[in-house]
Structure 1
Amino acid sequence: MSLETKEERVKLTPTLAEIGEKRVIEAITSVAPSSINGDDAAVLHTPVPNRRTVATTDLLVEGRHFRLDWSTPEEVGHKAIVQNFADIEAMGARPAAALLGLAAPADTPISIVQGIARGIAEASSHYNTELVGGDVTQAGELVVSITAIGALGGDRQALTLDRARPGQQVVAHGKIGWSAAGLALLERFGRALPEEHSELWPLIDAHCAPWITPGRGQVARATGVTAMTDNSDGLIPDLSTIAARSGVSIDLFADAIKPDPLLVQAGALLGRDPLEWVHAGGEDHTLLATTAKPAPSGFRVIGEVVRGESVTVDGRPSPYTKGWASF
C-alpha cells in the first residue's frame, strides 16, 4: 500500500514544463476522453422535457484537502468527482458532466496529472458522465477544481435545505465518521498502517476515495424526500444548516448513529473518541435527508424533525459540533 514519493515520480515521467500546455491537455484527454470535449465549450444534450440545470463547484488543494504521500493521483481525481456529484445528488438531480480546472507547479510530473484525470474518468463512469472540458495553468501549488453540471427533471421540487418540517424522519445513505477516522489513521501512520491493524484499511480508503451509491439522490426525490444535503462538514454542522434554514429542530437517535466496530477499534488504537468522528468528522459525503414517508431504498432512519431550532442527540446537545471549516 506504499506510495511513490514525489521525487520518485519526477524521475519516472516528464514534468508539465518539459512537455508544454498542449501535451498536458492531450495527456488528460487520453485517459478521460469525451466526444464533446475539445471545442471552445462543450454543448450538452437535453434529452428530456421540463429539465432544469444544476451546477456546483469545489476545490481540492494539495496540503489542505489531500497529500500525495497519502493518496494516489487516481484517488484525488475520484474524491474530486464524488464530493461534487454528491452535491448534485443532494438536490435530487442526476450528474450530467464535469469540467476540470487544474493549477500545478511547472515541475509536476505529467503522470500525476494523468492519474488525477484517470480517477476523474473512472468515478464519472459510474454516473454515466464524462469530463467534457476545463483549463490548465501554472501555479505555486497543485489545485484541482471540478465544476459539476446536473439535470433535474420533472416537476417535483429540488431537495433544498429549507423544506424540513416537524413530524418528518431524518434518513441517511452512506457511512458516517469513516473519512475522519481514516484521516486520523493517516496522521498517525501515513500509508504504513501496521499489518496487525490491516482491517482498518477501509477507513483510510473512505478518506482518500469516499463513495456513495450513484442515483440515491434521484431515488430520494422520487419517493418524497423534502430536504437533503451531503455530509461534507460534519453530521451535526450539516444538519444544523437544515435546521436553521427550515426553522426546525432535529433530534438524532443515539443508537442509530453510534460508532460501528471499525470506528470503535480505530478510536481505541488512536486514543480518540470515535463519537467525534461521527458527529463532526465530515467528508463522508453521506446523503442526509428529511421525509414524511418511509426511508427510501438504501437509506436508514437516524432521527426525527421536531419543533425548535437546534440539533440534539436523544434530546441533548452534542459535545462535538465544530466540524470541517475552510477558515
Structure 2
Amino acid sequence: MVGANDSGGDTSRSSVSAGSGPTVADLGEQALIGRLTAMSTRAAADLPTDSDRLLIGPGDDAAVIAMSSDLIVSTDSLVQDRHFRLEWSTPENIGRRAAIQSAADIAAMGGRVSALVVSIACPPSTGVDWVLAVNHGLNRAAVAVGARVVGGDVVSADQIVLTVTVFGSTDGRAAVPVSGARVGDRLAVSGPLGSSAAGLALLMAGRADSYPDLVAAHRVPVVDLAVGVIAAEHGAHAMTDVSDGLGAELETMARASGVSLEVVAASIPMAAGLAEAGAELGVDPAGWAIGGGEDHQLLAAFGGAPPAGWTVIGSVLARDDDRPVRIDGSAPAVPGWQSF
C-alpha cells in the first residue's frame, strides 16, 4: 500500500504555470517578500488582541515573540511530487496543509501554537499569484489555530519545497511526551482515521469525484488541534500525532515508553465513506486507517477515561519485547510511512 504521504512514487515534476501575471523572477525577491509580509500582517488582524505576543514581526532580521512558559519548536517540509502534486491540489490547499501538519506537532505536545516561519523554495518561473495563494493558505491555517506567520524566506530551487517551522507554548503546563505511557493506561485517538490515505488512493485511481470529502481531507487535513491542550489538561501521560500511520505511531510510543500496546481494530474510528471507498477500489479500509497517516489526529495514553470526543482503542500493557504493538493480537500488517 502507498502511504498517504506518498504521491505515488512518480518523480516527474509538474511545472507551475506562470499564467498571465509576473513570475517570481520578474517581481524580484524583495518585492515578493513585501507582498508576503503584507498578507501575513493583514491576516493577523483577525486574531484576538490577547493572543498576539509578537514584539517584532516580519520585515526584520528575525521575529521576537514574548513567551511566558516553555517553548515548543517543530519543523516540517513538503516536497513537490513527494508530498503533494500540483495537479491534485490548489496552492491554497498546499499552504494550509503545510501549516496544519506542523501545528499538529505542537498540539501533540499539549501546546498552543504561537507563530510560524515559512521557507518557500521554487523555480524562478513560478507565478507570483501561485506563491501568494500558498501564503494565503498558510496564513488562513495559522489564524485558525490562533497563531500568525511571522517571517520566513524565499529561495530559488529546481522544484517547490515548503518548510514550516512552528513555535508553541505549554502555558505553564508540562509538555506531554510520546514516552510517558504507563501500564494500565487507556489508548485513545482524537478523531477518525484513514481519510487522507483513502483520498490519495481515489486520486491515483482517477475517482476523485466519487468521495469528495475523502479527497478533500487528503488535500487539507480535517482536525481540531485544540484537543491537544484539552488532553494535556485532562492529564494525558503520552501523546503524538498520527502523521505516519497509526501502526507506526503505536510502535514509536511503545518503544519510547518501554511498554507494549494492545489495540482492538474494530474500535478504531474510521472516516465516513471509508468502507464504501474501500469496496469500490477493492482495498481493505482498515489498511488506510492503520497504515495511511496524514490525518493528524492525536493518539494519547490516559490514566482514566479520555476527554469527550476521544475514542478508546486499546490499552497499555507491560513490555513484551517480541510484540511491542498488537492489533487484535498480531503485529500491524501495514508498516506506515517511510521517508527513505
Please give the TM-score of this superposition, normalised by the length of structure 2: 0.88
Residues 104 and 285 from structure 1, CA distance in 2 versus in 1: closer, same or farther, beyond 3 angstroms?
A: same
2:312 is equivalent to residue 301 of structure 1: yes
Tell me the equivalent position of 1:10. 18
Report the alpha carbon displacement of residue 232 of structure 1 after superposing the two structures with TM: 0.6
- Equivalent-residue separation in structure 1 for 2:171 and 2:208 (angstroms): 45
Report the alpha carbon displacement of residue 31 of structure 1 after superposing the two structures with TM: 2.5
Tell me the equivalent position of 1:109. 127
1:60 to 75, 78, 94: 78
Root-mean-square deviation over aligned CA pairs: 1.6
Tell me the equivalent position of 1:158. 175
Report the alpha carbon displacement of residue 299 of structure 1 after superposing the two structures with TM: 1.4
SS at match of 1:11: coil
Tell me the equivalent position of 1:3. none
Tell me the equivalent position of 1:173. 190
Tell me the equivalent position of 1:212. 223
Residues 241 and 93 from structure 1, CA distance in 2 versus in 1: closer, same or farther, beyond 3 angstroms?
A: same
Tell me the equivalent position of 1:40. 61
Residues 140 and 276 from structure 1, CA distance in 2 versus in 1: closer, same or farther, beyond 3 angstroms?
A: same
Q: Which runs of 5+ in 2 are unaligned?
A: 1-13, 45-55
Which amino acid is the alignment partner of residue 36 of structure 1? Answer: G
Contact 1:225 1:291 in 2 (8 A): yes
Tell me the equivalent position of 1:30. 38
- Equivalent-residue separation in structure 1 for 2:333 and 2:153 (angstroms): 43
Q: Which runs of 5+ in 1 are unaligned?
A: 1-5
2:334 is equivalent to residue 326 of structure 1: no
Contact 2:192 2:269 in 1 (8 A): no
SS at match of 2:19: helix
Name segments (4+ residues, structure 1) moved above 6 Å: none
Which amino acid is the alignment partner of residue 176 of structure 2? Answer: L
SS at match of 1:323: coil
Map Cα deviations across residues 232-260 of structure 1 (whole Å, 9 max, x no partner): 11101111100011111111122211645
Tell me the equivalent position of 2:159. 141
Q: Percent identity?
A: 40
Map Cα deviations across residues 3-37 of structure 1 (whole Å, 9 max, x no partner): xxx77942232111111101211222232225721
Report the alpha carbon displacement of residue 261 of structure 1 after superposing the two structures with TM: 5.1
Which amino acid is the alignment partner of residue 255 of structure 1? Answer: A
Tell me the equivalent position of 2:259. 248
- Equivalent-residue separation in structure 2 for 1:221 and 1:7 (angstroms): 43
2:200 to 172, 183, 200: 183
- Equivalent-residue separation in structure 2 for 1:228 and 1:258 (angstroms): 17
Tell me the equivalent position of 1:265. 276
Report the alpha carbon displacement of residue 126 of structure 1 after superposing the two structures with TM: 1.1
Residues 8 and 159 from structure 1, CA distance in 2 versus in 1: closer, same or farther, beyond 3 angstroms?
A: closer
Residues 323 and 101 from structure 1, CA distance in 2 versus in 1: closer, same or farther, beyond 3 angstroms?
A: same
Tell me the equivalent position of 1:93. 111
Map Cα deviations across residues 200-255 of structure 1 (whole Å, 9 max, x no partner): 11111111100221321111011110100000111011111000111111111222
Mapping of residues 192-231 of structure 1, within 5 Å: 193-194=208-209, 197=210, 200-231=211-242
Contact 1:101 1:134 in 2 (8 A): yes
Map Cα deviations across residues 275-322 of structure 1 (whole Å, 9 max, x no partner): 1111110111110000112111331211111112411112222222x1
1:73 to 78, 91, 98: 91
SS at match of 1:228: strand
- Equivalent-residue separation in structure 1 for 2:109 and 2:39 (angstroms): 29
Q: Which of 136-145 and 267-276 deviates more?
A: 267-276
Report the alpha carbon displacement of residue 271 of structure 1 after superposing the two structures with TM: 1.6
Contact 1:161 1:227 in 2 (8 A): yes
2:313 is equivalent to residue 313 of structure 1: no
Tell me the equivalent position of 2:11. none
Which amino acid is the alignment partner of residue 184 of structure 2? Answer: G
Residues 8 and 87 from structure 1, CA distance in 2 versus in 1: closer, same or farther, beyond 3 angstroms?
A: closer
Tell me the equivalent position of 2:285. 274
- Equivalent-residue separation in structure 1 for 2:271 and 2:155 (angstroms): 43
Contact 1:257 1:302 in 2 (8 A): yes
Contact 2:189 2:300 in 1 (8 A): yes
